[in-house]
Structure 1
Amino acid sequence: MFRLPAVFQLIISLFLHTHDNEDLLDQQFTAKSPWNSQNRAPTVRQVDLVVQNEDISPDGFLRSGVLVGDSFPGPLIRGIKGDRFRINVTNLLTDNETMEASTSIHWHGIHQTHTNWEDGSAGVTQCPIPSKHSFVYEFDVHHQAGTFWYHSHYSTQYCDGLRGPFVVYDPDDPHRHLYDVDDENTIITLADWYHLTSRLAMPPNSLPPLADSILINGRGRSPEGPKTPLAVINVEYGKRYRLRLIQMACDPNFNFTIDDHEMTIIEADSIATKPYTVDFLPIYAGQRYSLVLHANQPIDNYWIRANPNTVRAESGFRNSINSAILRYTGAPPMEPSPRRYPQARKPLVETSLKSLMNTKPPGQPYPGGADITINLQMAFDFETFLFTVNGAVFDAPKVPVILQILSGAENADLLLPKGSVYVLPPNKVVELSIPGTIEDLGGPHPFHLHGHDFYVIKPAYTNEYNFEDPVRRDTLNTGFEDSNATVRFTTDNAGPWFLHCHVDWHLEMGLAVVFAEDTRGTKIQSAHVPDMWRELCMDYDAVKKS
Structure 2
Amino acid sequence: MKLVASTVFAAISLAVPALSETVAVTLDIINAPGAPDGFNRTLVSANGTYPGPLITANKGDTLVVTVNNKLDDPNFRRSTAINFDGIFVKTANAFNEGSPFVTEYPIGPNETYTYTVPLVDDQTGTFWYHSQLDVQYVDGLRGALIVYDPDDPLADLYDVDNEDTIWQVGDWWHNSTLPLLAGYEATGIVPVSDSGTFNGVGRYQGGPEVPFHVVNVEAGKRYRFRIINTSARNVFTVSVDSHNLTVIETDGSATAPLTINQLDLLAGQRHSVVLEANQPVDNYWINAPFVGGDPTRNLNQNATLSRAILRYQGAPDADPSAPMSLGPAAGELNALDEADLRPFVASPAPEPDVNITLNLVVTAGKAQWNVNNVSFLAPEVPTLVKILDGANSSSDFNVTENTFILPANKTVQIIFPPSDDDEEHPFHLHGNNFWLVKSNSSDVINTENPIKRDVAGVGAAGTIVRFSTANPGPWFFHCHIFWHFHAGLATIMASGLDDIRADVHPTPEWEALGPAYEALPPDEQ
Counterpart for residue 5 of structure 2: none
Distance apart, 1:461 and its partner CA: 3.2
Residue correspondence of structure 1 range 41-440 to structure 2 within 5 A: 41-97=19-75, 99-114=76-91, 115-143=93-121, 144-203=123-182, 204-206=185-187, 207-309=189-291, 311=293, 313=295, 321-339=305-323, 340-341=325-326, 342-343=328-329, 344-363=332-351, 370-382=352-364, 384-418=366-400, 420-439=402-421
The one of 406, 426, 444 equivalent to 1:464 is: 444
Deviation at 1:123, TM superposition (A): 1.1
- Contact 1:371–1:429 (8 Å) recurs in 2: yes
Q: Distance in 2 between matches of 1:316 and 1:57?
A: 15
Aligned to 1:445: 425
1:5 aligns with: none
Equivalent position of 1:492 in the other structure: 470
Contact 2:236–2:266 at 8 Å: present in 1 too?
yes
Deviations 1:164-196 (A, max 9, x none): 000000111010000000000000001000000
Residues in 1 aligned to 2:287 and 2:379: alpha-carbon distance in whole angstroms:
40
Measured after TM superposition, the shift of residue 56 of structure 1 is: 0.5
What is the rounded CA distance, in whole Å, between the counterparts of 2:395 and 2:218 in structure 1? Answer: 60
Residue 96 of structure 1 and its aligned partner are, at CA, apart by 2.8
Deviates more, 1:161-170 or 1:336-345: 336-345
Tell me if the contact between 1:221 and 1:320 (Cα under 8 Å) persists in the aligned partners: no
- 1:32 corresponds to: none
* 70-79 or 407-416: bigger deviation: 407-416
Contact 1:397 1:417 (8 Å CA) reproduced: no
Distance 1:116 1:214 in 2: 34
Cα displacement (A) at 1:416: 3.3
Moved more, 197-206 or 316-325: 316-325
Q: Secondary structure at the match of 2:201?
A: coil
Question: Distance between the aligned counterparts of 1:246 and 1:515, measured in 2?
Answer: 25
Q: Which amino acid aligns with 1:328?
A: Y
Moved more, 377-386 or 497-506: 377-386
- Aligned partners of 1:73 and 1:217 also within 8 Å: yes
Q: For the residues of structure 1 that align with 2:160 and 2:34, how far apart are their CA atoms?
A: 31
SS of the aligned residue for 1:543 comes to: coil
Task: Tell me which amino acid in the other structure corresponds to 1:466.
Answer: N
- For residue 311 of structure 1, report the CA deviation from its aligned partner: 2.6
CA deviation after TM superposition for structure 1 residue 146, in Å: 0.5
Q: Which moved further from structure 2: 225-234 or 302-311?
A: 302-311
Residue-pair matches, total: 503
CA deviation vs aligned residue, 1:358-378 (integer Å, no higher than 9, x gap) = 111111xxxxxx110011001
Fraction of identical pairs, as percent: 38
Q: CA deviation at 1:201?
A: 1.4
Using a 3 Å threshold, how does the CA distance of structure 1 residues 145 and 468 change in structure 2: closer, same or farther? same
Deviation at 1:510, TM superposition (A): 0.5
SS in 2 for 1:202: helix
Provide the rounded CA distance (Å) in 2 between the counterparts of 1:316 and 1:213: 7
Q: Is the 8 A contact 2:196 2:303 kept in 1?
A: no
Q: 1:371 to 1:189 in 2, by over 3 A?
A: same
Partners of 1:47 and 1:82 lie apart in 2 by: 16
Q: Is 1:511 equivalent to 2:489 in the alignment?
A: yes
Distance 2:66 2:302 in 1: 42
1:113-152 deviations in whole A, cap 9, x for unaligned?
1311111111111100000001000011122110000000
Contact map agreement 1:65 1:161 (CA 8 A) in 2: yes
Secondary structure of the 1:413 match is helix
Conserved 8 A contact 1:265-1:291:
yes
Contact 1:221–1:319 under 8 Å retained in 2: no
Q: Distance in 1 between matches of 2:333 and 2:229?
A: 23
Whole-Å Cα distance in 1 between the matches of residues 400 and 31 of structure 2? 35
SS at match of 2:138: helix
* Cα-to-partner distance string for 1:77-130 (whole Å, 9 max, x where unaligned): 011000011110000001233x21100000000111131111111111110000
Residue in structure 1 matched with residue 511 of structure 2 by the alignment = 534
C-alpha contact (below 8 Å) 1:148/1:167 kept by paired residues: yes
CA-to-partner distance for each residue in 1:390-409, whole Å, 9 max, x for gaps?
01011111111111111111
The 3 A distance-change label for structure 1 pair 231 and 17 is: closer
Measure, in 2, the Cα distance between the counterparts of 1:166 and 1:240: 22
Q: Is the 8 A contact 1:436 1:445 kept in 2?
A: no
Q: CA deviation at 1:435?
A: 2.9
Distance change in 2, residues 1:218/1:132 (3 Å): same
Flag the 1:318–1:542 CA change in 2: closer, same or farther, 3 A: closer
Is the contact made by 1:412 and 1:418 (CA closer than 8 Å) also made in structure 2? Answer: no
Within 1, Cα distance between the matches of 2:181 and 2:294? Answer: 14
Question: C-alpha displacement at 1:309, in angstroms?
Answer: 1.7
Structure 1 residue 273 displacement after superposition: 0.2
- CA pair 263-155 structure 1, distance change in 2 beyond 3 A: same
Deviation at 1:296, TM superposition (A): 0.4
1:439 deviates by: 4.8
Q: Deviations over 1:182-239 (max 9, x none)?
A: 0000000010000000111121333211000000000000122111111111000000
- C-alpha separation between the residues in 2 aligned to 1:185 and 1:227? 23
TM-score when normalising by structure 1? 0.89
Looking at structure 1, the residues matched to 342 and 367 of structure 2 have their Cα atoms a distance apart, in angstroms, of 38
Q: TM-score, normalised by structure 2?
A: 0.93
Q: Distance in 1 between matches of 2:269 and 2:520?
A: 35
Find the residue that maps to 1:467 and give its secondary structure.
Answer: coil
For residues 394-451 of structure 1, what are the alpha-carbon distances to aligned partners after superposition, in whole Å with 9 as ceiling and x for unaligned?
A: 11111111111111111111113546000000011111111344455xx110000011
- 2-structure distance, mates of 1:122, 1:108: 14
